Amino acid sequence: MMLQYLKSANTVSIGFSELVDRINNGEVMELNIEKNSGRVIGKFKPGAEAIKSHDNKDAFTAVIETEFTDELIGMMRENNVKFDIVPVSFWDTLLSPNTLLLVAVFTIPIVFLFWLMNRQMQSGGNNQAINFGKSRARLASDGKKKITFADVAGVDEAVEELREVVDFLRDPKKYEALGAEIPKGVLLIGPPGCGKTHLAKAVAGEANVPFFYISGSDFVEMFVGVGASRVRDLFDQAK
């Protein structure tokens, strides 16, 4: 019954001090206290001064501190006010600020994640997700001019060292027959722009083999194992 008053246009919100005054003045006819919520819903007596003070609104709501519930019950008993303690309704609990905040905290990130995934899928991001652990190495174009040692100058000592690697790449069986193994790799050291990549391209050009190149920063990712996966994929492509 009280909920009908609460939903009607004849409901007014009052403070705790006014609620106490109206009860002590005998202007309150009945009152419902929502358990553990601190909200009360009540109705003024017909002809009460409170109705005139609130533009003929005969129902009211108020919020009290839960520790004052016993004190409020005592006042209602002294003034013969009909009261009841009722559980909070399902819809009131569902639509409470705390519940809505909790739902928002969990829902908004999930909705944003689905929106982001959908956007990536529409823009081809699904392929990016599949190839996340794949190498980003690029193959030097065959249409470009082949670079050889003749195009390298100023690093004669390095060139002589690398000629052995070139000879092995050209005829690996000759070295395998002697029990030799090709080096696992060659480390070229120098400041940016000194020609390390150019020299590596010359090795590939002299040996007439494909040349893959990639920046070292492409192996760095925030997720563990991605860099190692890209290294393995790079060698698989080269093989």
Question: What's the whole-model pTM score?
Answer: 0.39
Strands 28-34 and 39-44: antiparallel
| SS3 per residue for 112-137 | HHHHHHHHHHHCCHHHHHHCCCCCCC
pLDDT tier for residue 29 given thresholds of 50, 70 and 90? very high
Average pLDDT over residues 112-119: 80
pLDDT at residue 12 above 80? Answer: yes
Q: Do domains 2-91 and 138-238 have the same CATH topology?
A: no
Report pLDDT for 125. 47
| Structure token digits, residue 21 | 């005054």
The answer to whether 29 and 5 have CB atoms below 8 angstroms apart is no
Q: In the chain, where are the structural domains located? A: 2-91, 138-238
Statement: 2-91 belongs to CATH 3.40.1350.10: no
pLDDT at residue 192 above 90? Answer: no
Report the alpha-carbon angle 216-231-120, nearest 5.
80
Query: Among residues 195, 6, 24, which one has the least CA distance to residue 91?
Result: 6
Report pLDDT for 18. 92
pLDDT in tens, 40-86: 889 999 988 988 888 888 899 898 887 888 888 899 899 999 988 88
Query: Among residues 48, 47, 39, 3, which one has the least CA distance to residue 21?
Result: 48
Sheet with 82-86, side-by-side order of all strands = 11-13, 59-63, 39-44, 28-34, 82-86
Report the half-sphere exposure of 165 (CA within 13 A, side-chain side): 20
pLDDT tier for residue 3 given thresholds of 50, 70 and 90? very low
**CATH class of the domain comprising 138-238:** alpha beta
Report pLDDT for 44. 92
pLDDT in tens, 202-233: 888 888 887 777 766 666 665 666 667 777 77
pLDDT tier for residue 30 given thresholds of 50, 70 and 90? very high
Lowest-pLDDT choice from 4-8, 13-17, 137-141, 177-181: 4-8
Report pLDDT for 227. 66
The residues that bridge with 45 in the sheet, in sequence order, are none
